[in-house]
Chains A and B, each alone.
Chain A
Amino acid sequence: MASGAINKLGFSQEPPAGVLGLGLTLNSERQGQRDSEMWYLCVFYHRLLDYRKPEVEALAELFGGYEGGIEKLEWKLPLHHHPDSPFHFVNLPSELIARNIANRSILVKGIYELWGEGSNFEELEESVRSFPDERKLPFLTSDSTFKITVDSFGKVMSFQEQNDWIKGLSFIPFKGRVNLRNPDHKFWLMETDDYGSNNGLPPIVQKRIFFGREIGGADRKLLPTYQLKSRNYIGPTAMDAEMAFLMANQALAMPGKLVYDPFVGTGSILVAAAHFGAMTMGADIDIRVVRDGRGPDCNVWSNFRQYELPMPISLLRADNNLPPWRSNLKEIFDAIICDPPYGVRAGGRKSGGRKLLKGAVSPYTVPDDKRTDHIPSTAPYSLVECVHDLLDLAARMIVMGGRLVFFYPVLREDNSVDTDFPKHPCFKLVAACEQMLSYRYSRVLLTMVKIAPYTEEIAESAKLKHLEFKENHLKWLEEGNLHSAVFSPVNPQSDAANDSKFNKEKPKYRGKYVFQNGKSISNVAQNLVIKCQLAALING
């Protein structure tokens, strides 16, 4: 899960006391040990806020060999920053790991070795000057090339301003030549501004300037390459490329691993996993998507060909409710990644048909001459049962320590979501990342790690549950119906109230940790300003 800091609103939190100071003591204590633990400045793209830290945590596990699990990753916020701020400090064991994480990520704009920070230029200069020379000079040599980028969060800077800022750095003894195209070392001067609201975030009381050396950053060029609009074969619920990559990262997809998607559809999730080198396998109950697609050059296989990725090991026409695996097969997939059909845009299907819907009908026997290519009929599949089957399948088929990554829909009520996610004795939830889809509902990307083996007892109780679902098929269909909850009209009175509110002020920014009503944002901000002024008075 995300570390404690993000769970609070952030205002009540003690600001981390002199993060840089801490970094400095660490450095001076461990001079020469380049690969000791260190705090890095981690700057995120300001999107999919809930997904940012879990992605870094997952990748830290992938590259860093954190044995005790990922809770160990420590985070800090810069002074006065809101948890949704794009600026974070993260403690990582080595620069190599930091680079691997940053380069593989989708949401990390950059991880930087912080050379200095301050609330104004004088403070920044002092802080950079006191950063140890032996850490600076190797990157300032005359035979190297460099580039300085000026970046700001929450405002636009003119070219002139940027130039002035760069000139302000002349106290750093840069000896190398400037190369804007392909420099050896990239330096970043970044600012958060203190006026108004920052992209909707509550204002920061004091602005902060950071200067650091770039270690690595996300390759966002992947996204236009893989964007759905230029993909050959897509369906109505194809997973957006950015999200698919995030899911593959959560699942720790890499060469040598086998990844399975039981609701493969047009293969959009497996494409992302295959991009990171994993072997893939998929299944769907709809034979049209796995066998035919839309023709010889427009099917799941052609999607893999389009990006020159290795083909899936297989695509099966299979029912998750009645899986085709041999009975003693277990622990074979390293990860299962999927977006189950939850009945809002598309509903699930399972084998069954008329019998389940209309009660007992006279048994239909497939005539022998039709048997060879007979495809069983299907009936609707309720979300509850679908998730139960998924967890059972995953518990059995995922290796110990392997991951189950899937979307789970939740209804939003009073701007909060019910955090009662599905549980299973074999799994531990390590991340839950919400993505708001509408005013009424969100989907949450759940990442679970398998921590216990699949025992006889668990198998037995799953079997009983399976029978119960079969008996009460219609009841579950009705109870678990998310479609009506999402699309039914809300009660007219509050509808009118909501409407007028919406017309007046559409919140530009809807964060989990920010009140969504514009008024409360400014109230909180005002309170914060007052609080800080008080604090300043008290501290003299």
Chain B
Amino acid sequence: MRLLTHNMQACNIKGVTNGFPFRVEAEEVMEKQVDFNADFLRNLFPKIEWKALVEASRAMGYHELPDEADSSLLDSDDFLQKFHRALPQLHLEEGAFVCPETGRKFPTALIKCI
């Protein structure tokens, strides 16, 4: 499960009003190579919930992302590289997503390919 997908999803169990963002419980994290494309990152940046991305990436042991980010950072190559590593490359291999409201766990056994 990549962080881009994590950032898009919310828990849709019946009755849950705010199922975003899932808490990440990481046991094994991998980085999977994806071709770098600055336009792709620039297009996606305004749609990302930054706080959720930062928290999830830290839960997965990646601490390079700044607490706050605005679009002026998109000119910095250094930032784009870090953003690239976090958003499409970082992969949760083993672990679970936890619904912030009900505490229901979605283990990677269920979401491995996701």
Q: Is the CB of B20 within 8 A of A327?
A: yes
Which residues of chain B have C-beta atoms less than 8 A from A316's C-beta?
5, 9, 114
A257 at interface (Cβ–Cβ under 8 A)? yes
Contact segment of B23-31, B40-48, B56-64, B71-79: B40-48
Q: Is the CB of B114 within 8 A of A315?
A: yes
Q: Count chain B residues whose beta carbon lies closer than 8 angstroms to a beta carbon of A.
A: 31
A274-299 CB mask vs B (1 if < 8 Å, else 0) is: 00000101000000001100000000
Contact pattern, A 364-406, Cβ under 8 Å of B = 1, otherwise 0: 0000000111010000000000000000000000010000000
Is there a chain A Cβ closer than 8 Å to B10's Cβ?
Answer: yes
**What 0/1 readout, one digit per residue, does chain B (51-87) give for beta carbons within 8 Å of chain A?**
0000000000000000000000000000000000000
Closest to A331 in B: B47
A173 at the interface (CB under 8 A from B): no
Q: A258-B40, A313-B88, A372-B105 are in contact. Are A324 and B10 (CB under 8 A)?
A: yes
B78-114 CB contacts (< 8 Å) to partner A: 88, 104-107, 109-110, 112-114
Q: Which of B8, B19, B110 contacts A373 (CB 8 A)?
A: B110
A279 to B1, CA, bound (A): 15
Give Cα distance in the complex from A311 to B106, angstroms. Answer: 23
Determine the residue in chain B with the shortest Cβ distance to A322.
B12
- Interchain CA distance A372-B102 in the complex, whole Å: 13
The yes or no answer to A256 lying at the interface (CB within 8 A) is yes
- Nearest chain A CB to B66's CB is how many angstroms away? 22
At the interface, yes or no: A310 with Cβ under 8 Å from chain B?
yes
Q: Which residue of A lies closest to B47 (CB)?
A: A332
Interface size bracket, A side: 20 to 34
CB contacts (< 8 Å) of A329 on chain B: these are 8, 47
* A323 CB contacts on chain B under 8 angstroms: 12
Using Cβ atoms and an 8 Å threshold, which residues of chain B touch A257? 40, 43
Cα distance, A389 to B106, chains bound together (Å)? 26
B35 & A310 in contact (Cβ 8 Å cutoff) = yes
Cβ of A255 and Cβ of B39 under 8 Å apart? yes
Are B10 and A327 in touch, CB under 8 angstroms? Answer: yes
* Bound form: Cα–Cα A371–B114 in Å: 18
Quick check: is A159 within 8 A (CB to CB) of the other chain? no
Say how far B1's CB is from chain A's closest CB, in angstroms.
7
Do A372 and B110 touch across chains, with their CB atoms under 8 A apart?
yes
| CB nearest to A319 among chain B residues | B12
Return chain B residues, CB-CB under 8 Å to A334.
Answer: 43
- In the assembled complex, the Cα of A323 lies from the Cα of B12 at a distance in Å of 8
Which one of B1, B4, B8, B43 lies within 8 Å of A325 (CB-CB)?
B8
Q: Which residues from 42 to 74 on chain A have a C-beta closer than 8 Å to any C-beta of chain B? A: none
A332 CA to B112 CA, complexed, in Å: 23
A313 contacts B2, C-beta separation under 8 Å: yes
CB of A138 to closest CB in B, whole Å: 35
From the candidates B37, B105, B114, name the one contacting A314 in the complex (CB within 8 A).
B114
Would B9 and A258 count as touching, CB distance under 8 A? no
Give the distance in Å from the alpha carbon of A324 to the alpha carbon of B57 in the complex. 21
Chain A nearest CB: distance from B85 CB in Å?
Answer: 14
Bound Cα distance from A109 to B32, whole angstroms:
39
Whether B12 lies near A313 (C-beta < 8 A) is no
Check A326 against B10 for contact (C-beta < 8 Å). Answer: yes
A371 and B104 contact, Cβ closer than 8 Å, known pairs A314-B2, A326-B20, A327-B20:
yes
Q: Are B9 and A332 in contact (CB under 8 A)?
A: no
Encode A298-311 as 1/0 by CB contact (under 8 A) with B: 00010000000011
Is A80 an interface residue, CB under 8 A from the partner? no
CA of A372 to CA of B110 in the docked complex: distance in angstroms?
Answer: 8
Q: How far apart are the CA atoms of A256 and B88 in the complex, in Å? A: 12
Q: Give the complex CA separation of A281 and B88 in angstroms.
A: 12
Question: Which residues of B lie under 8 Å from residue A279 when comparing CB positions?
Answer: 37, 40, 88
Given contacts A256-B37, A331-B47, contact A324 B107 (CB under 8 A): no
Least distance between B109 CB and chain A CB atoms (Å)? 6
Contact A255 B40, beta carbon cutoff 8 Å:
yes
- By a CB distance below 8 angstroms, the chain A residues around B113 are 290-291, 301, 314-315
Q: How far is the CA of A317 from the CA of B112 in the complex (A)?
A: 11
Please judge, given known A-B contacts A313-B2, A332-B44, whether A325 and B10 are in contact too, CB under 8 Å. yes
Task: Give min CB distance, A367 to chain B, whole Å.
Answer: 14
Identify the A interface with B (CB < 8 A).
255-258, 279, 281, 290-291, 301, 310-311, 313-317, 322-327, 329-332, 334, 371-373, 375, 399
Q: Which 7 A-B pairs have the closest CB atoms?
A: A256-B39, A326-B10, A326-B20, A314-B5, A256-B40, A291-B113, A332-B47
